[in-house]
Structure 1
Amino acid sequence: MSDAALIERIAARGDGVTGDGRHVAGGVPGDRVRDDGIIIPGPNRIEPVCRHFGKCGGCQLQHVAEPALADFVRDRVVGALEGQDVACADVLPALLSPPQSRRRATLTALRTGKQVALGFNAAQSNQIVDMRMCPLLLPELFALIAPIRELLTMIAQQRRPVKVKLQMLDQGVEVILEGVKAEGLDAAMALQDFAGAHALARFAIDQGDGLETLWQPEPPTMRFGDVTVEVPAFAFLQATDTGQAALVDAVTRAIGDAPAVADLFAGVGTFALSVQAGRKVYAAEAARDAVAALTAAANRARALVATEHRDLFRRPLIPAELNRFGAVILDPPRAGAEEQVKQLADSSVPAIAYVSCNPASFARDAKMLVHGGYTLDWIQPVGQFRWSTHVELAARFSK
C-alpha cells in the first residue's frame, strides 16, 4: 500500500483530494489511490442508492457514507472561512436533509419521435438523464414523473427542451411546464384531465407568451410559523422541510429576543413570518410578486410586519436605517450581499443572522463584517441538497 496515496478530503466540486493535492474523481476520504489511478475503497465509501448515479447531475456524492458527507458540508464552510482569514468560535456539526425530502425541482424534458426523456441534466452536460428512479425527490413529486412524460408526448415540440418545475405546497403539488404547445380541444382537455386526476395544487404552462394558470382550485399556500401565504407560481421556497426548519431555528437563535428585526431579501416571508410573533418585523424584497404575497399574508394575519419593495443591491439600507433594529436577518442570493454588507459593517446592529447558499460569497461578506467590528459567533452548516456539493448555512454575528 506504500505506493497508494490516502484521500483526505472532498473538494468543492466533489473530487477526492490526496495529501499532496492530487484530485481523484470519485474519491472518498479514507480511500487510497494507486499511481495508476485505481481506487482502493476505504471505510467511508458506500454503494450508491440510485441507478442513475454517475450519469445524472442531480447528485455528486451518493458514494459517500453519512458521517463523511456531514464532514464534507462542514468542511466546505470551514475552508471558505480559512480562505478569507476569518475566525469563527464555533462551526457546528452539519445538519443533512434525509432522502426523499426534496420538495422542489426543475427538470428538463426532450421529445424525440414518440419518446420523451425527462429528468435532471447529466453532469456538466445538456444531455437529459431519463429519470426512472430518484431517491432525492419527495415520493409525491416522483409519482408525477411518468404521467408528465406521457402528457408531454402530446404537447412537447420535437427536439425543443421543456422545463418542468415541480413544487410541493400545502394543497398538493404545483406543476409548471415551460416551452410546450397545447393547441386544440384535445390538448386542452388532456391538460384539465391531468390536473384533476393528480389533484394538483396549481397547473400552469408557458407556450412562449408568459405563464397561463390552467388549474388552481383554491389559492395555493405555504405556512410559515402560524401565518399562511398565498404563494406566486414557483415562488422561491427552501428545498426541504427539514432544511427550512434547521435554518429557521438557527435564525431564531441568532436574533434572540430583539423587539424589532429587519429581514432583508425576505422573499415570501420564510423568516419574517416565522419569527414575527411578539415583535415588529420590517421585510424588504426586490421581487414584486413575492413582496405582494408577503404583504397580503401579514395583513390577513394582522402581524406586525412592514414590507417594502426594494432592490437591496441598488439601494441597500444605510446605517441610519439599520440602527433602528435589534437584529437583522440577511438571506441573499448566491452572489451574496456585498453592498448591503458594507452598510451593515458600518452600523451598530447588535446581532446579524446571515443565511447563505454559497460558502464562498458568505466568507467574503463575513470578512467585511469582521473588519467592521463584528464577531462571528457560530455557524450552522446545512446539507439541504443531499448528496450534492451545494452547501448552505446560517450564522450569527454580534457587535
Structure 2
Amino acid sequence: MSNPRNHPACGVCANKLVKNGTTSSGRTRWRCKHCGASTTQSRLDTTRKADFARHIAWLTSPQQRGDFATSTRTFTRRTQWCWNVQPIPPRNGEIHDQIMLDGTYFNGWCVLIAHTGTHVIDWQWCDREKTASWTALLTRIPAPMVAIIDGNHPLIATVKKHWPDTRIQRCYFHIRQAGHKHLTRRPRLPANRDLLHLYTALPKIVTLDEAASWTAAFASWEAEWEPFLKHRTYAKSGAPRPAHVRPWQKWWYTHIRTRRAWKLLSELIADEHLFTWLEVAETGVVVSRATSALEGGPNKAIKDFLRAHRGLSIDHARRGVDWLLYLRTEAPKNPWTFVTADAWAVDRQRPVVIKPETGREETKRLYGTGFSVEDGNGIQKGWGGRSR
C-alpha cells in the first residue's frame, strides 16, 4: 500500500526519510535517520517537460545555452534526449488560393518549403532542387489555384505534371534579379538600357490595362532591336572564344546577355506566367506577385537560426529547422505532444573503442598500459612534496 503522504523511502536501507532543510536552489533535502544518507526528490515527468520547453525556447531564440541553465554543459546534458523528438507537419487537405514554393540551402542540404503567404504548409528535405524532390512535396499537398514560384525549371515541370489545373505566377523579385544578372545595373548599350527600363517598370503595374500597355512596349522593343539581337560573331583562328561557346561552333550570337534577358520576358509572356495575379484578381481572388513572404519569413528565420547556433551537427541543425518550420504552421500544437518515452529511452552513450592487438607478448609487457609494481608505480603514501 502506497504512503498517501510525501514520505519517500531511503534508496540505501529502505527506511523512511525525514526532511532536512533545503538545497541552495530551494529544493527539499531528505535524510535517513537509520543510515544517514541524504538525497533530494524530483518528478521526472515535470523535469523532462521543463527541459524540453527550455530546449524549444533556445532553438527559437538567439540566446546562448548557458542562459537557460547553470552552465552550457548542464543544458547540453539535460536536453540531449530532446533532439530525438521530431515534429510532424499537419496535413488537413485544405485547398489554398495560393502557395509559394522555394528552397533554401545550407551545408550541402536543401529544404523545400510550401508557404501560403501567412503560414507554412509542409516542407521536404533533399540535396538539391530536382524533380524527385519537388514531386515528393507536391504530391502531399492539394493543388492550389495559383503557385508562386521562382525560375527553377524542375519545379515548373513538376507543377505542370502534378498540378495541371494550377496557374503559375513567376516571382517579380526573381525576374528583376535575373534582369540585373544579364543586363547589369548600369548597361551601356542602348538596347540594354531600354530593356532594363521594362524590367524596372514591371513591379509598378497594378491593372490589366497597364499590363497591356507594358506588353505593347515590349513588343515595340522587340521590333526595334530585332536586327541587333541577330548579330553574329564568327570564329577566327587564334581569336578567343566565350565560355558558353562549344569548340565545334563556327558562329555564335554576339549579344548573348541581351538575348537571355529578352528571351526570359518573351517566354513568360508566351506561357502567361507574368500577370496571373492580375487576371485572377478579376475573379475576386487576391494572390501575391512575389515570394517575399516566404523569403523574409521562414527562409530568413532558418538563416538566422544557423547563424545564432553555429557549430551544430547536420542532424541537429536539420532538427532545429524542423521545429522552426513547424512552429510557423497555421495551428501548431504544443511541442510536448510529440514527446514519447522512446525519446529518452534510447541509450546514446559513446561506444567503447577496443584497440587492436599490438603484436608480440614481450611488447605488451614492456609497453603495455597495465599496472605493474616493478615499474615503481606502487601505492604511494604521505605528502606528495616530501623527499625520500
What TM-score bracket applies, with the shorter chain setting the length? under 0.3
The TM-score with structure 2 as length reference comes to 0.24
Larger C-alpha radius of gyration, 1 or 2? 2
Q: When you count strand as a share of all residues, which structure comes out higher?
A: 1
Q: When you count helix as a share of all residues, which structure comes out higher?
A: 2
